[in-house]
Structure 1
C-alpha cells in the first residue's frame, strides 16, 4: 500500500471537513446530525497542535483520503496519558484495508506523543469499526446503552481500549 502520513495543515481542512461530513448520513460513525462547516472548525486544528496532538492527514498519490486525531480524555491531570482516537476515511478509501494499515501507525505515533492508553468510542452498531479495533487487540471496556439519539432512534456507544505500554 502506498500511503503517506503527515500532520495536517490549514490547507487540508476543507478536505478533512468533507471526509467528516461524508460520514454523517450513515448514522454509524459520528453523533453529529448535520454537516459541519469551516467556521465550525475554526481553531480546531490549532487547538490539537497546541495540546501536542496534531491531526494527521492520510494521503494516497497526493490525494487526501483520510485523517485521524487524538483527543484528551476527560480533561483531568490523572488522565493526561489517555486519549480518544478518531479515524475518518473518504468514501473511496473505505473497505480497502486502509483501516488495518492506519491503526497500528496511529499507535506508534501515540506512543511518540506519550500516550499510554487509547480509547475508541464507537457506535455499537458500527460492526466494521468494532471488528477493526478488536483485530488490533483493543478490548471492549464498556458500553453506554442507548445514549445517542439520531433520527428518533436510540443507539448505544461501545468503549474499546488498549494499553500501549506494559501494565
Structure 2
C-alpha cells in the first residue's frame, strides 16, 4: 500500500517533530556529529536562518504527521561560497523504506536551484552511511573527497565522504 506523502515548507509548529526525529539520530547513530540534541530555541533559530538565507527547509508529512525533513544551509560563511549549499536529510525511523528520503532530496534540489544555488554538498559519515550515500548517488551526486578520522562519537573515530551535485547544465 502506498501512503500519500506531502512535501511542503517547514513551519514553526513542525519543529517539535523535527527535533524528535533528529534527536533519534543524535543519540543513537553517527549520522550526525552533534552529541546533544538541539532544543526548541535552536530549532527556531535554524529555521529562521535558513529562511533568511532564502534557502529551502521542507518537511514530508504522512497523514498530517512529520515523517522527515530536509534543508540546505550555506556551505561556508565566506561570500565566495554563497552559491554552494550543504544538504541535511532525515527520515523518521518508522518511516524508512517508503521513498520519503528520495522525495525530500528531489524536492530540495529543485528548490535549491530556484534559490540560485549552483552546487550542493552532502557530508556523510562513512560508517553506517551506505543508504545515505546511495540515496545521493542515485540523484547525481558524485564523490568529491574523503576526510579521515575527523569526528569522534560513540567511542570511535569516524570518516566522512563528501558528495557533490551540480545544479547547472
In structure 1, which of residues 122, 145, 149 is the aligned counterpart of residue 152 of structure 2? Answer: 149
> TM-score, length-normalised on structure 2?
0.92
> TM-score, length-normalised on structure 1?
0.93
In structure 2, which of residues 112, 133, 143 is the aligned counterpart of residue 140 of structure 1? Answer: 143
CA shift at 1:135, angstroms? 1.4
CA distance in 2, matches of 1:68, 1:55: 6
CA shift at 1:92, angstroms? 1.3
The 3-state SS of whatever aligns with 1:39 is helix
Written as runs of structure 1 = structure 2, the 5 A alignment for 1:11-160 is 11-125=13-127, 126-160=129-163
The 3-state SS of whatever aligns with 1:47 is helix
Structure 2: where are the runs of 5+ without partners? none
CA distance in 2, matches of 1:94, 1:31: 21
Name the count of aligned residue pairs: 166
The alignment's C-alpha RMSD in Å is: 1.4
Give a deviation string over 1:83-130, Cα, whole Å, max 9, x none: 000001111111222222222221111111111111000001211101
CA pair 102-55 structure 1, distance change in 2 beyond 3 A: closer
Structure 1: where are the runs of 5+ without partners? none
Task: Name the stretch that deviates more: 49-58 or 34-43.
Answer: 34-43
